[in-house]
Amino acid sequence: MKKLFIILLIAGLNWQCSSQNSFYNKNQNFKTNKPKLMVGIVVDQMRYDYLQRFYTKFGNNGFKRLLNNGFVLNDVHLNYTPTHTAVGHSSIYTGTTPSIHGIIGNNWYDKFLHKSIYCVDDANYVTVGGNTGGEKSPNRLQVTTVSDQLHLAQTMHGKVIGISMKDRAAILPVGHTANAAYWFNGKGNGHFITSSYYQNTLPKWVNEFNQRNLPEIYLSKDWKTLYNIKDYTESIEDHNDYEKNIKGENNVTFTHTIAEIFKKKHDFNLINVTPSANTLLLEFAKATILGENLGKNKYTDFLSISFSATDYIGHTFGVDSKEVEDTYIRLDKNLAELLSFLDKKVGQNNYTIMLTADHGALPTLPYLQKHKIPSLFFDNKKFTKYLKKIVYKKYQIDNLIENVSNFQIFFNKETIQKNKINTNKLANFIVNNIINYKGIAKCFTAKTIQTANFNERIIQYTQNGYNQKLSGDVIIIPNPGTVSYMKKGTEHSTGYAYDTHIPVIFYGYGIKKGSSNRYIKVVDIAPTLSYLLKIEPPNGNKGNIITEVLE
């Protein structure tokens, strides 16, 4: 009997160990299974409503494939200001806002250097692949990105690469540890270049791509609508007084004489304001995947792609233009080609895509005014003159105001200290006296932004965009429909829905089919990607996992 008991006990223990091993094996698979390639796609200046507006013009294999087979988030907003390109790309991939990641604009006034600076400029590095344009790095980004965390989790194995027509859109998404970032050098030879921050020579595959001279080929053709312009019913009339013209062209209507302009100017930057820039980036993305063998290794690779032509074209012609509609019809075909390429080269169930935008945009000012929608141009020079006048009248001291930019007012701290001016009193005086200035909806002192709690979304966004070390002494929120640097075309920077409401689609490995109408913040993207990759979120993260998108 005793012997039988021992046999049964041993059998039970063996079964228990077997069950535990089975559980841990399943759990281990859960922990380690992840896509071979993560592809982050940012469409610069893509409003959420473009998905609806142009839906009937899309084919079945681009946007519609993502929409119908991925998970669509319908109410995602940038939860900060200003809504600029550099800030958007940083926030998407860090899971935090300018208050923490430190990228408070594309350009901003540096109160320590006493000059305006550009977000990725870095004189410590030199151009690789050209004569200029590569003196860049991500060093002003104060936190890690998803791809930084992926590298750390994989002990620096796997490849991380960022590509875009814009330097800031290539550099900031892939953070500090990227293997490479490449962007287009329109001022020089029309090639993709990089910075010595990443490497000292271009890889062979990049040189070979540049030798194909695709920009010159694309710029030898005029820009005509892909389909009959009469069928472009989702946009306003082609001939109007709301648009800027392409530099070197006298008209704002189709056909755009790109070949003639390029022949005269031989400026490769011309490609940025045509849909060919997206096609060029698509071809470079394919070359990147092949050249770096992405998605074919033991470790997960990360590729960030930022399509910039949509922003250049939007700024020039406005969100309601025939040019924007044609651009998105063509981008849809670019996406279809990219997805097909990934299917063949990486494998259908081996990659995950996250598609979003860095900001939206406002309809053109004269178009809004024509239709009696409240809107106005905020003249920053005129406002600065007014501000300095009232401050001098109050204090009888020159140079108390050092800079006015990005709807922020910076004080001259040396003058304040020398004259023993109370900073808080000066700030309160300004707030109380500019609130009635035309075009200003709200304004706050830095102290108020730092110490008060607000429930109103627009003010919360302003607080999230305020960086205690870098931002100004008085923060201004303009009225809805206010623009400050473009009377024609469009712009973006505010915390209003036309600038903050962006599309977000997850697709591929680990992603469910479906949609959600829940309000979600852009900072929730990074922790969701991190969870999918089974890694820690970025070190400044303040977002939440969007659980409904995950299988």
The catalytic site residues sit at: 85
The Cα angle at residue 543 between residues 542 and 549, in degrees rounded to 5: 165
For 294, which DSSP code? T
Helix, strand, coil percentages (3-state) for the chain, rounded to 5, are 40, 15, 40
In three-state secondary structure terms, 390 is helix
Closest by CA to 410, choosing from 395, 399, 398, is 399
DSSP codes joined into one string, 232-270: -TTS--SS-SS-PPPTT-S--SSSB-HHHHHHHH--GGG
For 121, which DSSP code? B
Cβ proximity of 268 and 215 under 8 Å: yes
Return the H-helix or E-strand segment holding 304: strand 301-307
Contacts 24+ apart (CB under 8 A), 417-426: 419/395, 421/395, 421/397, 423/473, 426/391, 426/395, 426/400, 426/473
Q: Provide the β-strand partners of residue 444.
A: 475
CA-to-CA dists, residue 287 to 154, 195, 204, 205, 507, angstroms: 24, 19, 11, 7, 22
- Please state the separation of Cα 477 from the chain's center in Å: 22
**What's the CA gap between 506 and 65, in Å, rounded?**
11
Q: Which residue type is seen at 417?
A: Q
For 223, which DSSP code? B
**What's the CA gap between 305 and 335, in Å, rounded?**
11
Q: Which residue type is seen at 175?
A: G
Residue corresponding to tokens 């151009």: 127
